[in-house]
Amino acid sequence: MSAVLPTINSTIVRNILSLAGTRASLAWARVRGFEHAVARASSLFLTPPRHAHREREIAFLAKGERFVVHAPGTRLAAWRFGDAARPAIVFSHGWGGRGAQGAAFVEAALAAGMQAVVFDHEGHGYSEGRESSLVAFSRGLAAVAGALEARGVTVAGVVGHSLGGAAIAHWLSSGGRAQGVVLVAPPSSLIGYSGRFARLLGLTERVRRGMQERIEQRYGVAWSAFELPGSVERLATRALVIHDAKDRDVPISHGLALARAWPGARFSGTNGLGHNAILRNATVARDALDFIRGEVVFAPPAKPDAWSAFPGPAPLL
């Protein structure tokens, strides 16, 4: 434990210093004027943290066949595992994540006699770009699915974590096809997320709204397209939401809200895995594959009570 504490403490110090520096840069931008503040906030909002791959992740990716997917304005790094003639499971990671985090789902897919594909979204891992967004996530998923379909591969299912799960709904509403989808710890509101972002950095609502409008204009998609219940209420694809009761990054109320809004969606809760360890859990991975293959019927989400009907804003993902 003594060896771990200095690492934890130094990480906390770095995070505090980084937050202080970010707030200072935003304060200077506000001094220069409203448009400067909006531009700076937008850049920060669209820039994901880029984490180095761990040794186990590098070893895992080395077992796959690497290929390049051409997405709008960028190139994405992707890896394929298993028999190329079999239906595929695609893993979509979350904000600041990487495709290698889907290793447990790849193992479950191979055990089920399927192939699996993981990839790094724009601005993440080994893919190109410095900025990204929920729209970019959706378009990246569409590009990967399209590349597989062009090879004659059926996309049997998509598993998405956090923001990578939220992107699935937009992908489906834009013409994406899969037999079933699994959303692990998904947030339910992009506007709510931006509100948390604004409060953390001391931004006014006027600047937050200006940032939203700037990003909407850039990508040509209104954020209302990602808000519940409208973003999922017309989807017919079978969906399972898996969320942990101890998730401190995206509270379980978000996953429940999404499952309740998605017609016919099912829900599976875990306890004690949190936001990231849930991806490494073999039972969660098997449940996801069993659902996609139609082998297990999960229960629908519990009906909301007066205190849980509306989720609060998710913390930064």
CA-CA distances (angstroms) from residue 224 to 45, 71, 229, 231? 17, 24, 10, 8
pLDDT above 70 (res 308) = no
How confident is the model at residue 18, as a pLDDT? 54
Q: Minimum mean pLDDT among 172-176, 263-267, 312-316: which range? A: 312-316
Q: How confident is the model over 214-250, as pLDDT tens digits?
A: 999 999 999 998 898 888 999 999 999 999 999 999 9
What integer pLDDT is reported at residue 197 of this predicted model? 86
Alpha carbon distance 95, 44 (integer Å): 13
In a domain, 281, yes or no: yes
Q: Quick one: tokens of 26?
A: 């935003």
More confident residue, 202 or 104: 104
Residue 3 lies in a domain: no
pLDDT value, residue 13: 30
Rounded CA-CA distance 63/80 in Å is: 9
Whether 274 has a pLDDT exceeding 70, the answer reads yes
Whether residue 16 is contained in a domain is answered as: no
* Residue 296 pLDDT > 50: yes
**137 pLDDT tier (thresholds 50, 70, 90):** very high
Task: Find all residues with CB under 8 Å of 57, minimum gap 6, and list them.
Answer: 98, 100, 101, 103
**CA atoms of 151 and 78, how far apart (whole Å):** 15
Take residue 112 and report the two structure tokens written for it: 């089920």
pLDDT single digits (tens) 61-85: 999 999 999 999 999 999 999 999 9
CATH number at residue 107: 3.40.50.1820
**Are 86 and 130 a contacting pair, CB within 8 Å?**
no
> Lowest mean pLDDT: which of 1-10, 11-20, 221-230?
1-10
Q: 5 lies in a domain? A: no
68 is a domain residue = yes
Q: Is the pLDDT of residue 253 over 60?
A: yes
Residue 159 sits in which domain range? 33-292
Is 105 part of a structural domain of the chain? yes
- Residue 312 in domain: no
The mean predicted confidence, pLDDT, of the chain is: 87
Please tell me the predicted confidence (pLDDT) of residue 52.
Answer: 87
Q: Is residue 122 part of a domain?
A: yes
pLDDT tens digits, 151-197: 999 999 999 999 999 999 999 999 999 999 999 999 999 898 898 88
- Domain tally for the chain? 1
More confident position, 1 or 251:
251
* 23 pLDDT higher than 90: no
- DSSP-based three-state secondary structure for 119: strand
pLDDT confidence band for 12 (50 / 70 / 90): very low
Task: Note the pLDDT of residue 316.
Answer: 43
Q: What tokens were used for 136?
A: 């970019």
What's the confidence (pLDDT) of residue 7? 29
Q: How far apart are the first and last CA of the chain?
A: 27
What is the per-residue pLDDT for 79? 98
